[in-house]
Amino acid sequence: MKKILVSLIPICFCFSHLDAAKIKILAIGNSFSEDAVENYLYDIAAAADDTLIIGNMYISGCSLETHRNNANTAAAVYSYRKINEEGIKTVAENKRLSEAIADEAWDYISFQQVSQNSGMYDTYFPYLPDLLAYVQSLAANPQVKYVLHQTWAYAQTSTHSGFANYNNNQTTMYEAIVNTVFRIASEVGIDRVIPSGTAIQNVRTSYIGDNLCRDGFHLDTGLGRYTAACTWYEKLTGKSVMENTFVPAGLSLRKTELARTAAHNAVLSPQSVTDLHDFYIIPDAGTFILMNPVYINFGNRQAPVPWNNVSGFEQGVSLASLLDTLENETPLKIEITDAFCGVNFNGPDQGLTSSEWNLPPAAT
């Protein structure tokens, strides 16, 4: 099928950071920026011999309106999460936006709307232009580029109240986000868009299906977050992730390749979904016979392959194509039909490695 790529922003980007030793990225966001930049982005860069400094000014569920108001009142209400050039993460509470902006000569500063409003044009005004002007007045790097994060649509089973803004329809939400974000970037003067939402939608066309959210709207801590991080890295650096050597713990090589492919295609075609249903065909469930055990981890940390990591505990959270102990993907799927009360964060962290049990610390 012939594909036509139409760009609404007639700007030719020169990726000056292709050979950069260090790139500094600040996100002004919420839990969706946490999903995208706080976990695997540094490691992807390190595997390509790049060094990142990553900052995330975090407030859960924060909208552009709230960010703008916090800037105007110098409110010390942020959790400033920072990953330094050695990959060490620190968290400083009760910080002001101005403090994070002044902390580094950032190469990129990103904005994003709260997820339920990401596809609603009117919710960006006057808040994003005001916030952009505020940041521009404080940014130390005269060559800084401004970024808009295109977030993802909710899982079709999501019970998030904001899903009603899109008639509780994933495709409607995705299309609204894409159209709105690219229009906003053009009108406001944002340098580039990170198409995380398109990358996630690409994965959903594959054998994984609609199994990327740990609670119906946040990304699962493995494939989902890794896909978003790949998208950020390729879009900001201009370096393809297709041959990147970093593999997250708990992800099979096939799922790693899928994430890279989805992200790469999102960067190439950010406003349209790439059909990946032929990426891998799982065995026919009707004739499949399980020959090896399947290990499932319900903990809050990613256990290594061949463990299958269930990232959430809400009703509807699911994980498809479970690996067996020989790392073969199966047609098996697990879904939570009755929510857990929570996750115990105080289990034993030394693992159980007796002859009877072989449980890694992340699972115990």
Question: Could you read off the pLDDT of 145-200 as tens digits, one per residue?
Answer: 999 999 999 999 999 999 999 999 999 999 999 999 999 999 999 999 999 999 99
Q: Average pLDDT in the 25-54 region? A: 97
Q: What b/e readout covers 114-123, taking b as 16+ CB neighbours within 10 angstroms?
A: bbbbbbbeeb
Cα separation of 133 and 137, whole Å?
Answer: 6
pLDDT at position 151: 98
| 47, containing H or E segment | helix 41-47
| 94, containing H or E segment | strand 89-95
Does residue 121 or residue 352 have the better pLDDT?
Answer: 121
pLDDT at position 349: 73
pLDDT at position 10: 36
pLDDT at position 21: 63
Question: Could you read off the pLDDT of 255-306 as tens digits, one per residue?
Answer: 999 999 999 999 999 999 999 999 988 777 788 889 999 999 887 788 888 9
pLDDT at position 180: 98
Nearest to 180 by CA among 136, 114, 228: 114
Q: Average pLDDT in the 316-340 region? A: 88
Question: Could you read off the pLDDT of 76-110 as tens digits, one per residue?
Answer: 999 999 999 999 999 999 999 999 999 999 999 99
Residue type (1 letter), 299? G
pLDDT at position 312: 80
Name the architecture of domain 22-192+211-216+247-252: 3-Layer(aba) Sandwich (3.40)
Residue 345, pLDDT > 90, answer: no
* Percentage of the residues of the chain whose pLDDT score is greater than 70: 94
pLDDT at position 12: 38
Domain boundaries of the chain, sorted by first residue: 22-192+211-216+247-252, 282-364
